[in-house]
Structure 1
Amino acid sequence: MRNNYFLRLSKLLLLVVLLGGCYKGSSYEGHTQVHSPFSNAEYPNSDSFAALSEQPHQIALLLPLSGQHADSAKAIREGFLASYYQQNGTKPNVRVYDTTKDSDVQRVYALAIEEGADFVVGPLSKEDVHRLSMLPPRALKTPVLALNHHPGVQSAPKHFVQYTLAPEAEAEQIADKAWQKGYRSASLIVPDNVWGQRTASAFTTQWQKRGGRIIHTVHTNASQDQSAAVRRLLGIDESQKRANHIKNILSEKVEFQPRRRQDVDVIVMAAPPDQARQLKPLFDFYYAEDVPVYATSSVYSGNPNPKRDRDINGIVFCDMPWLIDQQQGQNMRQLLNRNGANQSDQYNRLFAMGVDAYQLTTHFKQLQTGTKYPGVTGDLALGSNNHIQRQLSWAKVVDGVPSKVN
């Protein structure tokens, strides 16, 4: 009987060890009465970042699982957990906290730390990122990988890192790429919305910093006549006006063919796929078939469609490596397929962000030493401002299919 007792005890201990690394899918259920452990007592003396091994023991994933950001949050969560389950060997515990259950993200963070987290991923909204960064240093010793950035985050500790898929990164890299290719005078065509304004502003700032000229910027509406926008971009209307003026002066019929302006050596475009498929043929029609076109990732749907994407032949664009590199793309699509039915392009990109967010928790110390991580959303490195910098891949559309270029 004594031997049977020790046998049962051994089996129980083995079961505890095996379950130790399993995902704990408990969600934060509000806890509105929970008070921060930082208010009445000092944070434990050990510095969580200094004590952090290559892999954390427990990760708190802070996401808004209801409300306006819920769809984005769920895509990131699914990518995060897919990456988690794909990992072999010992894994950390993961606990998911719904930040919409409490109006104060600092309390959610405090609860996560109290329940054993030694690494925090999230929050997602800009406002929550800023709010969390305002905790006093003694209360913010646990590493944080925030999933957005806020310009007000200025004095957070070095282990408070911001990771985002902001359009500014793409715009700046397009400016750098175009400059390296020898272009100096650019015209921009972007959507007439906040995203378009941010893209244009980031490109213009980076381009002018290098010494480039902005010839013209046109803001378009996808529901309106695209040919009018292209004529404005290329100066066709001004050319026609000059011809009409000459005709009036001469009072006779004059043979005339409109010309595009000749001082543009690159066109920079941000547009969704359907709009891009209209704009590129119009560039060619209005005599700009010889002008190179550089674009944001928005022009590509993320799924090969040679029949439709022949209309964007010749466009050079930047994007996540997994959407351009065949091998990496195959691995990512396997993860996505395991997760269910086909999803939108936005879902797939946020899913990829979740995949990299998990991987960054196990490569956090390497980032701090300047080592890059080759992620699915880009080659990731820690910038001087504690932002994750994404180095994107480049492709040129050939016969309707993105082909990787240097």
Structure 2
Amino acid sequence: MSVFGCATPTPTAPKTVTPAPVSQPAVQTPPAAPVTASPAAQPPVVTGVVPAPAPLAATPLPAIGTEPAAPHIALLLPLNSPVFAKAAAAVQQGFLAAAGKELNSLPVRVYPCSDESAEIVALYQKALRAGAVAIAGPLTRNGVAALAATGPVATPTLALNLVDDTRADQLYFFGLPPETEARQAAQRATTAGLLSATVVSTNSPLSKRLAQAFSDEWQREGGILQAGIIYDGDPTPLKDLSQEPGTSVFLAAEPDKARLIRPYINSAIPVYATSQVFSGNTNTLTNYDLADVRFFDMPWLLQPDHPAVMIYPHVVPPMTPDLERLYALGIDAYRLLQVLYQHNPANVLPLDGVTGKISRNGHVFQREGIFAIMRQGLGVPVEGKSRQ
């Protein structure tokens, strides 16, 4: 499973997250330093946007525990996990990239672990003893649940995943759950004046979660939910979908299955999906099969001229879209943690982030993605007032 409980297979056969054990212990990063390399062996070099500065050699830093306690920002990640190391490394790179743009800020110390569910409580206490005044992490859902179960949290802490929990302390949550985009798709289709929807799924665990999230929101918005279709390789039910005005389809599928399904749906029917179907604007030939599919994703992948996107350095060569999204999560996580540490949310939120427009609902930071449509193999942002 992925850090958000979806998108990747079980730990025995991971696809988007592969083993990349990190041998380096926690490090301290000066606030004005350029982006440092990921702890994984031979990571991508991170450079500035325009122009790209020459990469600088990383300076060896003392291991955590050998330096005296001092005020700092702690970043807790499963960098030594055989399953989540690559995802954690992407978040770390984004977090440090944002820290490198912040002048006169506290240094960042990175605290790696292997199994967040078993180690996170001790690691969190270790960071506090070392002087942490603000903490980001853990990353996995199990890790966040373990930390949340320890009781009230007194230090500003931004967990990088979501759990069902009501808090009255200093523990906040921010993540990239795909269900959020499914709900936004339902809201957008309602705004477009569509009256009924058919959910086409593949029966995978992720597909079921997306289908449920869309269906719940669609019915909450007053829409008519038609009988769902589970695609098993037979396109006949797709060809028989109603083309009456006001009908729509929500595609709850992974990219490979979505590309198989879309051509069988009549082009007159509006089709909605999530970022799960979008593999980036570098795969235009592959994306052609997704013609006119509407979906939500983040400015980091859709709007290179977005003001916030232009500020922060990009990894060269680019990572996979899934890892790019986690890199962007790291950038916005650092920015949100600054908001919590400085106790100034009213003057900063909503935040125009690289992952989307971010607001806060209680102790959860909510992200509104960019609405886009597939045109000629490219994901093209749609104007906010459009009724597509």
Tell me which residue corresponds to 1:232: 237
Bigger proportion of residues as helix: 1
> Alpha carbons of 1:218 and 1:26: their partners in 2 closer, same or farther (altered >3 Å)?
farther
Contact 1:370 1:382 in 2 (8 A): no
Q: Deviations over 1:347-384 (max 9, x none)?
A: 11111111111111222334367821111111111113
Secondary structure (helix, strand or coil) at the match of 2:172 reads strand
> Alpha carbons of 1:94 and 1:25: their partners in 2 closer, same or farther (altered >3 Å)?
farther
2-side partners of 1:27 and 1:231: how far apart?
Answer: 61
Contact 1:321 1:392 in 2 (8 A): yes
Tell me which residue corresponds to 1:90: 104
Matched, 1:349 2:331: no
The within-5 A match list for 1:232-251 is: 232-235=237-240
Matched, 1:281 2:263: yes
Letter aligned with residue 232 of structure 1:
P
Tell me which residue corresponds to 1:398: 375
> Alpha carbons of 1:26 and 1:169: their partners in 2 closer, same or farther (altered >3 Å)?
farther
2-side partners of 1:220 and 1:344: how far apart?
Answer: 26
Tell me which residue corresponds to 1:363: 339
Q: CA deviation at 1:270?
A: 2.9
Letter aligned with residue 130 of structure 2:
E
Tell me which residue corresponds to 1:321: 299
> Alpha carbons of 1:19 and 1:183: their partners in 2 closer, same or farther (altered >3 Å)?
closer
Secondary structure (helix, strand or coil) at the match of 2:313 reads helix
Please, which of 107, 110, 116 is the counterpart of residue 125 of structure 2?
110
| Further displaced range: 203-212 or 323-332 | 323-332
Tell me which residue corresponds to 1:215: 226
2-side partners of 1:343 and 1:21: how far apart?
Answer: 24
2-side partners of 1:377 and 1:345: how far apart?
Answer: 13
2-side partners of 1:121 and 1:180: how far apart?
Answer: 36
2-side partners of 1:184 and 1:201: how far apart?
Answer: 18
Tell me which residue corresponds to 1:296: 274
Contact 1:26 1:95 in 2 (8 A): no
Higher gyration radius (CA): 1
The within-5 A match list for 1:118-129 is: 118-129=133-144
Q: CA deviation at 1:342?
A: 3.2
Secondary structure (helix, strand or coil) at the match of 2:280 reads coil
Tell me which residue corresponds to 1:204: 215
Unaligned runs of at least 5 residues, structure 1: 1-17, 30-55, 237-259
1-side partners of 2:360 and 2:125: how far apart?
Answer: 26
Contact 1:368 1:382 in 2 (8 A): no
Structure 1 segments (4+ residues) deviating >4 Å: 18-29, 260-264, 329-334
Tell me which residue corresponds to 1:271: 253
| Further displaced range: 124-133 or 18-27 | 18-27
Contact 2:243 2:269 in 1 (8 A): no
Letter aligned with residue 290 of structure 2:
I
Contact 1:28 1:98 in 2 (8 A): no
1-side partners of 2:82 and 2:95: how far apart?
Answer: 20
Tell me which residue corresponds to 1:388: 365
Tell me which residue corresponds to 2:94: 79
Contact 2:161 2:174 in 1 (8 A): yes
2-side partners of 1:220 and 1:374: how far apart?
Answer: 38
> Alpha carbons of 1:307 and 1:133: their partners in 2 closer, same or farther (altered >3 Å)?
closer
Unaligned runs of at least 5 residues, structure 2: 1-28, 37-59
Matched, 1:378 2:356: yes
Matched, 1:173 2:184: yes
Letter aligned with residue 191 of structure 1:
T
> Alpha carbons of 1:211 and 1:19: their partners in 2 closer, same or farther (altered >3 Å)?
closer
> Alpha carbons of 1:266 and 1:280: their partners in 2 closer, same or farther (altered >3 Å)?
same
1-side partners of 2:230 and 2:169: how far apart?
Answer: 39
Letter aligned with residue 143 of structure 1:
P
TM-score normalised by L of structure 1: 0.72
Q: CA deviation at 1:117?
A: 0.4
2-side partners of 1:79 and 1:71: how far apart?
Answer: 13
> Alpha carbons of 1:333 and 1:93: their partners in 2 closer, same or farther (altered >3 Å)?
closer
> Alpha carbons of 1:186 and 1:333: their partners in 2 closer, same or farther (altered >3 Å)?
farther
The within-5 A match list for 1:31-46 is: none
Contact 2:299 2:309 in 1 (8 A): no
Contact 1:63 1:98 in 2 (8 A): yes
CA-atom RMSD, angstroms? 2.9
Tell me which residue corresponds to 2:41: none
Letter aligned with residue 110 of structure 1:
Q
Q: CA deviation at 1:319?
A: 0.7
> Alpha carbons of 1:19 and 1:381: their partners in 2 closer, same or farther (altered >3 Å)?
closer
Tell me which residue corresponds to 1:257: none
2-side partners of 1:19 and 1:63: how far apart?
Answer: 19
Secondary structure (helix, strand or coil) at the match of 1:289 reads coil
2-side partners of 1:189 and 1:28: how far apart?
Answer: 50
Q: Deviations over 1:294-345 (max 9, x none)?
A: 11112211233333323322221111022222313994697233xx433211
2-side partners of 1:109 and 1:330: how far apart?
Answer: 30
Contact 2:31 2:108 in 1 (8 A): no
Tell me which residue corresponds to 1:310: 288
2-side partners of 1:78 and 1:306: how far apart?
Answer: 27
